[in-house]
Copies of this chain bind each other. A is one copy, B any other.
């Protein structure tokens, strides 16, 4: 792994210097190669599928593992969209004249080498690697073991395609064992960022076992709060969608909070809507005074069900709702349903989450829905990138300072002084 880390770092540095045209040609070559290897990819995936089915992998996971004509079409379409996006590299984010003839530029560049550990989804392998290529990053991928044969072939197909247009070997590497992952976590001299996708405990394990910065894509305890001023029909519709549109997603709600002044009017309608979708409801005493549901315990407020279960609590005020969310939530996505703009403003300012939504479903928290083209994950960290992470989250920047023999002594001695004039120009280098 040490040699693989070194190779990736070298390849990453070369990749960072490739021009837009070369990286887009490489993406096009990948799309062509996937098309040309369609039959072989489906056959490799068939092997993975049959082995996993024999091992009784659950049906939804078998669905995610499948890499069929439809999914291959989708990833090829995705690559063509990615080619159309503006090159994220070399963009001047700030330009300042420090003094005459001494200009400072803040310019975007790749992060370097990214290690990503993700679920058994071959389409994710393609999405992640092409996002890294577009943003000039080398990448080490460790997908779930169920997708072993498919990922192995995908890595070979993608590597060969990019080599054909001059991208350095080693920019993409496929890891196949847990030992490889553990070895990768120690390579803080060569790997700049680890993105673990999975449960909170998995993300925490990775953080505990590596000094490499981690961008956690962890589970979510998301809330909807129905304010006293809510439109009850909207509130029911949003709650049902946020809970049931896809229960195993991290952006589905787990707890619903309702203001005491509207609980009597809202809860019966909510129960009717949730009953239709066969959602099991749990409530505190004040909820149970209105609708007949199981009693919720304190544990419910910090439980991510990822299932057709919803906990419900009556609160006395907007402040109590905000406090509950900041205490028990995971900082992922939280919703207020309200017709009161001041309440919407307070909620979106004070709730400390990546997504703070007004009158819409939490299920919109997703890179595709946000228009990012694709996502490498949803970050629940507040540093670097927060929420759905697209190309932007794969960038760093550097400061380029261009002078003509300028020295600090002249400024320290008072011979020259800083002008700090903001410039409206791109970095010439």
Contact surface of A with B, Cβ cutoff 8 Å:
13, 16-17, 96, 98, 102, 104, 109, 111-112, 192-193, 204, 207-208, 211, 213, 215, 231, 233-234, 237-238, 240-242, 245-246, 326, 341, 344-346, 348-350, 352-361, 363-365, 369-371, 381-384, 386-388, 396-409, 411-412, 418, 420, 429
Contact = CB atoms under 8 A, between A and B. Distances in A.
B420 A358 contact: no
A78 B7 CA distance: 46
A326 B401 CA distance: 18
Contacts of A16: 349-350, 352
Nearest to A407: B241
Contacts of A404: 234, 359-360
A44 to B, nearest CB: 29
A98 B370 contact: yes
A356 B111 contact: no
10 contacts: A98-B371, A192-B382, A215-B383, A245-B412, A246-B408, A344-B402, A356-B400, A358-B403, A382-B396, A383-B383
Contact of A349 (B17, B240, B353): B17
Contacts of A240: 407
Given A405-B238, A409-B241, A326 B386 contact: no
B352 A112 contact: yes
Given A98-B370, A111-B382, A207-B211, A398 B387 contact: yes
A370 B429 contact: no
A310 B369 CA distance: 54
B406 A364 contact: yes
B245 A429 contact: no
A356 B237 contact: no
B386 A396 contact: yes
Given A16-B352, A349-B429, 19 more contacts: A16-B350, A17-B350, A96-B371, A98-B364, A104-B371, A213-B383, A241-B409, A245-B407, A341-B429, A353-B398, A354-B398, A355-B399, A359-B402, A359-B403, A360-B405, A361-B407, A364-B408, A383-B384, A388-B399
B211 A208 contact: yes
B358 A401 contact: yes
Contacts of A109: 349
B234 A371 contact: no
A192 B354 CA distance: 14
